Amino acid sequence: MIIIGAGTSGFPSAKIAANYGKKVLLLREGALGGKYLEKGCIPSKAMVYATNLYKSALKAKDFGILIDNITLDFNEVLKYADTLVHEGIQGNEKQIALYKNVDYIKKNGHCLNENSIEVGNVVYTGSNMLVSTGTFPRIPPIEGINTIWQTLEKFYKTSQVAELKDLPQIENLIREIFNS
Ligand SMILES: Cc1cc2nc3c(=O)[nH]c(=O)nc-3n(C[C@H](O)[C@H](O)[C@H](O)COP(=O)(O)OP(=O)(O)OC[C@H]3O[C@@H](n4cnc5c(N)ncnc54)[C@H](O)[C@@H]3O)c2cc1C
């Protein structure tokens, strides 16, 4: 069985197929664990969790809890999210290595027909193929949206949120959108 893409769908599918005795070829570009781990749920929920903690700390004095110098260090938040992502990827790499009937290639491939794929110059053939290559963000065709994109340069696709280096100035962004 050939599985293209090792995200939330491809990675567990490879393990399930292997557990049923299939010989699996698993291909992936990007992280083992896909968008969910690398740019989706895990980093975004780490940021949401950190934000909630920060908000709770700001409100803590209403409950009689006094905390001095509450500051949000966005770099530390990003570091925390990054650590979770890297630990997750390493854990997945260790797991897949345990599956002796899964050949795992860290390259992208493209389908030649319903049973064959090409990876570099090599062609692989399988009895079944699962295409689990995920989705990509797309800017919706809303009139004027490209102008906002070009002038503000602050229009984040989900894939870019995980790559932020500084805390976005959301208030400025909202103000500028309303002004434009
Ligand atoms: C910001 C954000 C937050 C999210 N939060 C949640 C959440 O809280 N809970 C939840 O359930 N879901 C969440 N999601 C959705 C979740 O990430 C997706 O539903 C999930 O990743 C889809 O899995 P997938 O396997 O279909 O695709 P992906 O995870 O995108 O995996 C596909 C993989 O295939 C690889 N690939 C593509 N083309 C090729 C090729 N030709 N050859 C080899 N490999 C290839 C890609 O690089 C990728 O690694 C979130 C998504 C985002 C963006």
Domain spans of the chain?
Answer: 2-179
Q: What is the pLDDT of residues 119-132, one digit of tens each?
A: 999 999 999 999 99
Containing H/E element for 108? none
9 C-beta closer than 6 A to ligand 1? yes
Specify the CATH number for 2-179; select among 3.90.1410.10, 3.50.50.60, 3.40.50.12780, 3.20.20.210.
3.50.50.60
Is the Cβ–Cβ distance between 126 and 113 less than 8 Å? no
What average pLDDT does range 78-101 have in this prediction? 95
Query: Residue 57 burial by CB count (10 A; 0-12/13-18/19+): exposed, middle or buried?
Result: middle
Give the tens place of pLDDT for each residue, 30-71.
899 999 999 889 998 998 899 899 999 999 999 999 999 999
Q: Check residues 15 and 163 and name the one with the higher pLDDT.
A: 15
What's the pLDDT score for residue 180? 47
Task: Say if CB 87 and CB 37 are below 8 A apart.
Answer: no
Q: Is the CB of 102 under 6 A from ligand 1?
A: no
Q: What is the pLDDT of residue 101?
A: 96
Whether residue 43 has its Cβ less than 6 Å from ligand 1? no
Residue 139 has what pLDDT?
Answer: 75
d(CA 75, CA 162): 12
Burial of 68 (0-12, 13-18, 19+ CB in 10 A): exposed
Work out the pLDDT band at 149, boundaries 50, 70, 90: low
Q: Is the pLDDT score of 82 beyond 60? A: yes
Least reliable range by pLDDT among 2-6, 154-158, 173-177: 173-177
118 lines ligand 1 (CB under 6 A): no
Neighbours of 171 (CB within 10 A): 8
* Dist. CA 33 → ligand 1 center (Å): 8
Of 41, 92, 93, 163, the residue with max ligand 1 atoms within 8 A of its CB, to mutate for a pocket test, comes to 41
